[in-house]
Amino acid sequence: MTLQPVRVATGGEGEEGRLVFAGEKLVALLVKLSHQQEELAGRWFFEAGFGRLDGPLHPTFENLADAEAWILQRLAATGEA
């Protein structure tokens, strides 16, 4: 899995984000929550998932490693990885 930095048009001025690739395929977009998100500020938000990761689940994570682990686990559970 590779992560590519990106700016995302959420939260006004644009938040720091990561495009998450599994091989060459884009599978998710993570956004680092700004101070505007109060108690969630600084956490990584699962903004969008694609393919098997598309759905109503939008957790937040303490750090990118936790986010990656969750994404890998979800991909494995759905037979994509």
Partner 1 sequence: MHQRLNSSDRLGNFPEQSRVVRKLESIAELSEKEKQALLDLPVSVRNVAADQDIVCDKDRPSHSCLVLDGFVCRYKLLDGGMRQIMSFQTPGDMPDLQSLFLRVMDHSIGTLTPSKLAFVPHDAVRDLLRRYPNLVEAFWRDTLIDAAIFREWMVGLGRREAYGRVAHLMCELLMRLRAVGLANGYSYELPLTQAELADALGLSTVHVNRVLKELRLDGLVVFKGRHLVIQDWEGLKEAGEFDPTYLHVEPQVAA
Counting contacts by CB under 8 A, is residue 38 touching partner 1?
yes
Residue with tokens 């995302």: 8
Residues, the chain: 81
Rule CB under 8 A: choose which of 4, 7, 14, 58 binds partner 1. Answer: 58
CA distance 39 to 9: 21
43 with 27: CB under 8 angstroms?
A: no
Counting contacts by CB under 8 A, is residue 11 touching partner 1?
yes
Rule CB under 8 A: choose which of 37, 64, 66, 70 binds partner 1. Answer: 37
Counting contacts by CB under 8 A, is residue 60 touching partner 1?
yes
Rule CB under 8 A: choose which of 8, 28, 29, 33 binds partner 1. Answer: 33
Counting contacts by CB under 8 A, is residue 48 touching partner 1?
no
Buried b (16+ CB within 10 A) or exposed e, 1-23: eeeeeeebebeeeebebbebebe
Binding residues for partner 1 (CB under 8 A): 10-11, 33, 36-38, 40, 45, 56-58, 60
